[in-house]
Structure 1
Amino acid sequence: MSHIRSRKHTLAAQPLLSQSLFALAAVGLPLAAQAQSAEKTMSEVKVEAKANAEAPYKVEKVSSPKLTQPLLDTTQTITVIKKDVIQEQGASSIVEALRNTPGITLQLGENGNTSAGDTFQMRGFAAQSSIFVDGIRDLGAVTRDAFNVEQVEVAKGPAGADIGRGAASGYVNLVTKLPSREDATSATLGYDSGETKRGTVDMNRRFGDSGAFRINAMVQDGGVMGRKVIQKKSHALAPSIAWGLGSGTRLYLYSQHVRQDNTPDGGTPAVGVPSYYQAEDRLRTAPRVDRNNFYGYASDFAKVDADMVTAKIEHELGGKTTLTNTTRYGKTKMDRILTGVHSVTTSKTVKVDGKDVVVPLAQADWSVMRIRQSVLQENEILGNSTNIVSEFNTGAIGHTLSTGFELLSEEQFAPVRGGLGTAGNANLYQPNRDDALPGYAPALTGAFTKGRTRTAAVYAFDTIKLNAQWQLNGGLRVERYNTETTGATVQAATSPQTIPVGTVIGSRLEKSGKLVSWKAGALYKPAENGSIYLSFANSQTPPGSANFSLAASAGSVANPNMAPQKTTNAEFGTKWDVLEKKLALTAAVYRSENKNELTLEDAVSHTWSQLGKRRVEGVELGAVGQITPNWNITAGIATMNSKIIEGTTGSSAAGAATRWTPDLTATLWSSYKLGDQFTFGGGMRYSSEQKRNVDPKTPVIAGTQGIPSYFVADAMFSYKVNKNVSIQLNVYNLLDKFYLESLNNGGSRVVLGARRSGQVSANFTF
């Protein structure tokens, strides 16, 4: 029996258009009159963060009302990736956009399983459950497209006071494109080396005295460079409408609907890649497989439906006080059957004189195990966020107070599907997607897991301006949460058979609690365009935070008997706006510590303890903005020194590093405008080794030891044909470097970085 000890430290989719119109009408009509009746006028407040029109890469302030000060005076490392950068790079997904900030690494999954959706680490901690859209948590196992994103805001360091539970390393906030009082239309048509065709359109139109509507749409169909069988097909629609622009009351109604129909990619065997190790000589020195090999079956599929509807109202209460209320309903569904690969077979057993004898196989007959896996998952979210920001003085001291409350209900339903077929081994070097798959008849078994987390939170932040040089800031968030997991399993055949085969056995687990998160900082301004700061913050991650699913297993972090993991962060930094405030330079030293990590204390009695403690510390430097009127740049470099401070054995032993956490990462993108017609751009990204084997007592383990360091360079050229049309060419992996993009935890599967490839686009503006 396992024990736990906690110790203190010393779906069918409706047509997109009909869904959009129905959603906007249902939510918007009752509120439209209120917005139009506002008589007080003021300068328009746009949803997107304030930007410097002359420095297209740089913003002055993020979109969140909780962060009230300009980035220059915000005591935290925050990177903002604007749509201008995303378009220049020809990026289509949020993961591609995140390459513009250092310290983020991608994950593939555990052993034969492949992660679903955007899966990544930030500063050494998993961050895929800390993605937000306009300040409200986003859900679902989806690969997020960038077609409807104004900018991507990346806040680093524990951010429990800002967003609540589970923010150990920070969060990513996607800012939606919303209507403005400017008639404009833009469109892009693109084609790349993977034979992918992609088109996007963004149209904004005014109506009446204060209204506007905006429609963003996307369609994509094609393959993946270097993966001939993989196909990706998607389309999306994002309508929005606003009333009261330029007045004291502004109402925004918007929705987004995405459909994806893809061939899922389970990766390729890691045989032959750098740092691959096996005890068997033949396997250790074997050549790599062809990157185009597909180890799945023709019946593999991945379909995603993602819909959300949002209503946002902003109202000026007078006296420099603004009320903002945002309500959102969202639903996503992933339906996927995928084939992963695992161990390699290089021999067979035959009978010789009645005895089993192992006989080596010819390399052409080597095979790899295939593992069938199913994901059938629905997520729903209903949330409301109400915020008031007020500026006032108490004597000679200035205050900017941001306070509010949040209500959130998140659910995930995952029925179990059987009948996936009996997968035979695939030939290692010549796999066949049309191999027989006996028993393939997908059907629900009756088993399921359903998780739900409900959260109610109140918060307050205050920035205190003591004088022109000194500022203090602090924030506090108190939230109550309740996570409930219900499930059912289906009794299988056992001996002795105490429960009839096919009996559905129910289960229920629950965890409730209160979390208190805080942050505090002090800032000194030696000059009007610079700041030096020191800040502290924390966050807490209770069981079941990642997927609202609790588990009875003693060795699971989702066990309801576990205490929340607690992360603290200290950061000392400086920020400067130079070159007439068009270029922002930042530097910060940070240290994050995570306590209450689960470790196996006694392998004999199977006793697990929350005595683990991990530390990640480093330096991060950044530059973004305009060097000259024609030269723009965004760059960052970060070091991460990760170490287990308190632990037991293996990868959790004291002195071990953190998996997939490179010591050094760097990113750069820059463009130069030559005359009125030509723009040249280019960039690079670098990552030092990402270790899979982090046990300090075991120098070599079976499988790939980690992802070797890599350097990738990209280039861009744009020609403006006339005021309405430009042609753009992007070349990726310009030097055609071989590198691993991601690796599974077992070290047997990899996703290779794409070889040199190109994309040509035609951009239209009217």
Structure 2
Amino acid sequence: MTKIRSRKHPAPSHLLVLMAAALPVAAHAQEAEKTLPATTVKADAEVSYKAERSASTKFTQPLVDTPQTIQVIKKEMLQEQGAATLMDALRNTPGITMQLGENGNTSAGDTFQMRGFSTQTSTFVDGIRDLGAVTRDVFNLEQVEVVKGPAGSDIGRGSQSGYINLISKLPQAENINSASLSLGTEDYKRVTADLNRQLAEGVALRLNVMAQDSDVAGRDHVHNKSIGFAPSIAFGLNSPTRFYLYSQHVRQDNVPDGGIPTIGMKGFYNATAEINAGSKVDRENFYGSKHDYEKVDADMVTAKFERDLAGGSTIRNIFRYGRTTMDRVLTGINGITATVSADPSTWTLTGSRQRIDQLNEIVANQTSLNTAFATGSITHELSAGLELMYERQRDYGFCTTKGGTRNNCLVAQTFTAPVLNLYAPNATVNQAVPQKNGAYTDGDTTTAALYAFDTLKLSDEWLLNAGLRFERYRTNTESASVSAAGALVRNANQQAAGNLFSWKVGALYKPASNGSIYAAYAKSLTPPGSGNFALSTTTTNQQNSGMDPQETINIELGTKWELLDKHLSLSAAVYRTDNDKQVSYDVDSASYFQEGKTRVEGIELAAVGQLTNFWQVSAGIAKMKTKQIDQVSNSGVASTGVRWSPELTATLWTSYTLGDLTLGGGSRYVSEQKRVITAGTPLATENMPKIESYWVTDLMAAYKMSKNLNLRLNVYNVFDKEYIAMLNNSGARMNLGAPRTAVLSAELQF
């Protein structure tokens, strides 16, 4: 009997409610286990939420013996939750929040931060960085691995708080086929298929496909449409020599969302008394245009070779080419500019026409060796490798307030900011599409890196873990701008190059075979231009080539245990992360210096696995405190904290199987998130200075109609909670969390 579960998280005050709801079910657990055949128990164990190891070859030990916080979110749990995107998956781990964007711009694709630092450029697929402003789908994933804490030795530059590693589905030496069809509220339609066929001895073909077409819950006109397919073939399965050739191709055609004004929300502040007293807008209001669009093409092709050598060693080589393009036009909201009048129905606001046309490319080759050996009485498990990588991002410029004379940006074509009715915007109004003016920024980084990770087993109780990475990088930035007269001006090229040495070390003590206590210390480096390869010509900018790399130090103490015959994993960790050498300003000397620092301290607790053969749980809670040290602007204003960094986050999912019926439920909780973090800032003109705390509860029920067909109903935000999911940096606009929605899925195995 395959167990069906779902998930989506709780505030601590709701954990007991969910647990209590499961108690009547638990009372019948013992007798149910006696009456079911042994084969059922085995099947249940096979779909446990708990993972034994990371899929990354850089981690040489099981998770329980790895001195670092790592969470593995398996595809079974994602399927039961009805999760479709990476952001859906990441709701299963505490300490991650999402962002809407800068004042006049809206972020594209997966935009989030973890443990107080931006993390969207630290997303990897099978250990290789995945670039591009794309909303990633989970249809082709075995699991999502969340690795927390600085990880420069793992992945290289720009890893202050960790990284996300997505593990692709690959061919298996058996015939397994499945498909799913989901229909829901808001005209939600989604179909997926996973087809694996063994063609001959050691040869298998696998094809994963996805198509989705849906409105966005609680929003007018906003629409998402995507298709994806991922073919793969493998040779030499179950033999010493294996070769995989696989690719993934995604096309998205969306109507993007610039959000809605925050006027009238609880906690809204504005200097104009009438505006400050204004009522909320309808959450379904769309402030865009019928000409807004977002088109994404994302492709990657990978070849992987593996060879098992004598003595248990394995050598691997993986090559990848990836290319993503994103072209988007939307209407944003720069700020609350309503005209005060006696009749609020005449109030207006000024929008902005935004366009992004971006290209991302990556070419990567990794060669690695995993081996084991002994030096005297000490045994070693070693992972070492060489990585060669080329990464590129190109952004184009567009006509804004006035056109030039290049690339169809005619002087006669004047762009004016659209004026929208605050409470009754009209999406049918014609609005011009910004045209390219010839300006661009084109940056790339080439990297050559050597790394090694070694676990030294000193005795049955003591292990030492060490990792180091040496890399040579070079970043080049070319750019051009358009003068007031319309002439294209090529700017001087910017270059930065250097050597980076990142490392980590951990000591682990095993008081019992099923548990460990550890201490770890790690150092990572983030050079200028790490995020988008765009070096700045401004000498006081953090991305100027003359700046030193930022340094991140992480200290972590933790313990991990496997209980209930290793079916349940418990973990606890306390940590402190310091990100140093940030640019700050000295008012006395009127000069800039790299002595600013961000400090994040916290504790995380997690429980994942089976309480009984029929009762599953995945839970986590994180308490975090952020602090900025010597962070002063040129006006003398000091920053005290980190935006979008809630002190407390929690997530829970639990499910129980009763014969052919599986019931599940869970909640997620996020405490207050501050937007205003500068000392002494008056709130009277700050729009929304913070996101209020919230919790959201989801429920699931599934019924196994036959051995091949399963029906599942997911109800999200079951209490229809209204909350701010994302807020922009000015506090003028927001995206509300989705209202109550429901999705019915039919899952077929054949």
- What TM-score do the two structures reach when normalised by structure 2? 0.90
Distance 2:462 2:513 in 1: 11
**2:687 counterpart of 1:693:** no
State the 1:282 CA deviation. Answer: 1.7
Distance 1:380 1:531 in 2: 41
Distance 1:655 1:446 in 2: 37
Distance 2:521 2:589 in 1: 40
State the 1:346 CA deviation. Answer: 3.6
Contact 2:338 2:422 in 1 (8 A): no
Distance 2:308 2:79 in 1: 34
| 3-state SS of paired residue (2:274) | helix
**2:429 counterpart of 1:435:** yes
Which of 661, 684, 689 lines up with 2:667 in the alignment? 684
Contact 1:344 1:366 in 2 (8 A): no
Contact 1:403 1:460 in 2 (8 A): yes
Correspondence 1:451-470 to 2 at 5 A:
451-470=443-462
Which residue in 2 is equivalent to 1:12? none
Which residue in 2 is equivalent to 1:408? 389
Distance 1:441 1:638 in 2: 44
The one-letter code sitting in structure 1 at the alignment partner of 2:517 is I
Correspondence 1:508-523 to 2 at 5 A:
508-523=493-508
**2:723 counterpart of 1:742:** no
Deviations 1:92-150 (A, max 9, x none): 00011000000000011000200111010000000000000000000111000011011
| 3-state SS of paired residue (2:88) | helix
Which residue in 2 is equivalent to 1:537? 522
Distance 1:461 1:184 in 2: 36
| 3-state SS of paired residue (1:319) | helix
**2:736 counterpart of 1:752:** yes
The one-letter code sitting in structure 1 at the alignment partner of 2:373 is F
Which residue in 1 is equivalent to 2:11? none
Moved more, 364-373 or 691-700: 691-700
Which residue in 2 is equivalent to 1:117? 109
Which residue in 1 is equivalent to 2:237? 245
Which residue in 1 is equivalent to 2:570? 585
Distance 1:473 1:134 in 2: 22
**2:145 counterpart of 1:153:** yes
Please give the root-mean-square deviation of Cα atoms over the aligned residues, in Å: 1.7
Contact 1:521 1:536 in 2 (8 A): yes
| 3-state SS of paired residue (2:77) | helix
Contact 2:616 2:654 in 1 (8 A): yes
Structure 1: give runs of 5+ residues left out of the alignment: 1-50, 349-359, 494-500
The one-letter code sitting in structure 2 at the alignment partner of 1:372 is R
**2:166 counterpart of 1:174:** yes
Contact 1:385 1:404 in 2 (8 A): yes
Correspondence 1:209-608 to 2 at 5 A:
209-347=201-339, 360-418=341-399, 421-437=415-431, 440=432, 442-493=434-485, 501-602=486-587, 607-608=591-592
Distance 1:236 1:555 in 2: 43
Distance 1:730 1:692 in 2: 33
Distance 1:699 1:610 in 2: 28
Distance 1:134 1:652 in 2: 45
The one-letter code sitting in structure 2 at the alignment partner of 1:115 is S
Distance 1:432 1:81 in 2: 42
Distance 1:653 1:401 in 2: 49
| 3-state SS of paired residue (1:88) | helix
Distance 2:298 2:648 in 1: 35
The one-letter code sitting in structure 2 at the alignment partner of 1:286 is G
Contact 2:355 2:434 in 1 (8 A): no
Distance 1:97 1:203 in 2: 23
State the 1:670 CA deviation. Answer: 1.3
Structure 2: give runs of 5+ residues left out of the alignment: 1-42, 400-408
Which residue in 2 is equivalent to 1:45? none
Cα 1:163/1:573, change in 2 over 3 Å = same
| 3-state SS of paired residue (1:72) | helix
Distance 2:588 2:358 in 1: 34
Distance 1:178 1:321 in 2: 22
Distance 1:581 1:82 in 2: 17
Deviations 1:657-682 (A, max 9, x none): 1111000000011111111x101111
State the 1:421 CA deviation. Answer: 4.1
Distance 1:761 1:663 in 2: 36
Distance 2:531 2:637 in 1: 24
Contact 2:447 2:474 in 1 (8 A): yes
State the 1:734 CA deviation. Answer: 0.9
The one-letter code sitting in structure 1 at the alignment partner of 2:553 is T
The one-letter code sitting in structure 1 at the alignment partner of 2:449 is A
Cα 1:509/1:577, change in 2 over 3 Å = same
Contact 2:339 2:349 in 1 (8 A): no
Deviations 1:354-386 (A, max 9, x none): xxxxxx352111111101111001111000111
Cα 1:554/1:650, change in 2 over 3 Å = closer
Identity of aligned residues (%): 53
Which residue in 1 is equivalent to 2:696? 712
Contact 2:44 2:613 in 1 (8 A): no
